[in-house]
Amino acid sequence: MSYSNSKTIVFITGAFVSSSCWDDWKACFESNGYTCYVPAWPHKNASVATLRARQPNPEIASIRLAQLEEYFANFVQQLPEKPILIGHSMGGLLTQLLLQRDLAAAGVAIHSVPPQGVVTFKWSFFRSVWGPLGLFTPLDEAFLMSFGQWRYAFTNGMPPGQQEAAYERFIIPESKRIARDGLTSAARVDFDRPHAPLLFLAGSTDHIIPASLNYSNFKRYTHVGSVTEYHEFEGRNHFVLGQQTWQEDARFILCWLRMQPAVSQAMKYEDIAI
């Protein structure tokens, strides 16, 4: 038994960062027998340097959540089998939206942006999202996170040199519209309907998507016949994909997909290649 017999994985990138943030994850899962895809968002299939040079970028500024959902829906429907979806942040929300359309064999939502109606009142959340929402600024200009904003919202707790290196390697302009769409019916999830197995991963030090917000998201699912599970990792910020601990998170997901006791065997995983 396993939570999915699919051997195809689609990694769904979140906002603000290049899809190259999945490079190590893709190699890891491929070494464990999966065929992996990392489709870039529309208008983002270019290098970090190129995308920054186009700022303010009206094409990126035009991206909407509903458009992005259809883009990924069309992508997964062209695959030879239903894939496993692994999404981070906004990619986690897209994973939830696609699962409710029965387009995936299983889903993993890593520090997921919450669907409409799932809220938090933590100050770190409001401080982190104020800039991306772009209130009182032109919607036709993409938002480029400053290093200070990146340091607080994504890489808090990391050594300064690592924060700066990650910023230079991954940060790209983002649509303000998509951040606002997360508050609308475009982000609606029907928590009562059946769905493929879904795992939520949260981090204890994430500022922009606090662990408590991830847990509230998880607890909203009510269909008793569907598998929905939650795990919080200590010391993970929102840059979880690039933290030095990423291999432990990847191993946990692999164990979960195989229905192994991933929590109790957290330091073993002898049969999983990294």
Q: Supply the range of the domain harboring residue 146.
A: 8-257
pLDDT computed for residue 271 by the predictor: 52
Over 80: is that where the pLDDT of 110 sits?
Answer: yes
In a domain, 2, yes or no: no
In a domain, 270, yes or no: no
In a domain, 231, yes or no: yes
CATH, residue 72: 3.40.50.1820
In a domain, 273, yes or no: no
pTM assigned to the model: 0.94
Average pLDDT over residues 76-97: 98
* Percentage of residues in the chain having pLDDT higher than 90: 91
Q: In this predicted structure, which of 36-40, 81-85, 131-135, 173-177 has the lowest mean pLDDT?
A: 131-135
Domain count of the chain?
1
Average pLDDT over residues 87-103: 98
- Tell me the CA distances in angstroms from 241 to 31, 95, 172, 249, one per residue in order: 17, 16, 16, 8
In a domain, 3, yes or no: no
pLDDT in tens, 222-262: 999 999 999 999 999 999 999 999 999 999 999 999 975 54
pLDDT computed for residue 259 by the predictor: 79
In a domain, 265, yes or no: no
- Tell me the CA distances in angstroms from 184 to 64, 155, 177, one per residue in order: 11, 28, 11
Residue 199 or 264, more confident = 199
pLDDT in tens, 131-143: 999 988 999 999 9
pLDDT computed for residue 154 by the predictor: 98
Average pLDDT over residues 189-203: 97
Q: Determine how β-strand 106-110 pairs with β-strand 198-203.
A: parallel
Could you tell me the two tokens for 246? 């990423």
In a domain, 271, yes or no: no
Residue 2's pLDDT band (cuts 50, 70, 90): confident
Q: How far is it, in rounded angstroms, from Cα 252 to Cα 259?
A: 10
Residue 267 or 202, more confident = 202
Residue 3's pLDDT band (cuts 50, 70, 90): confident
In a domain, 262, yes or no: no
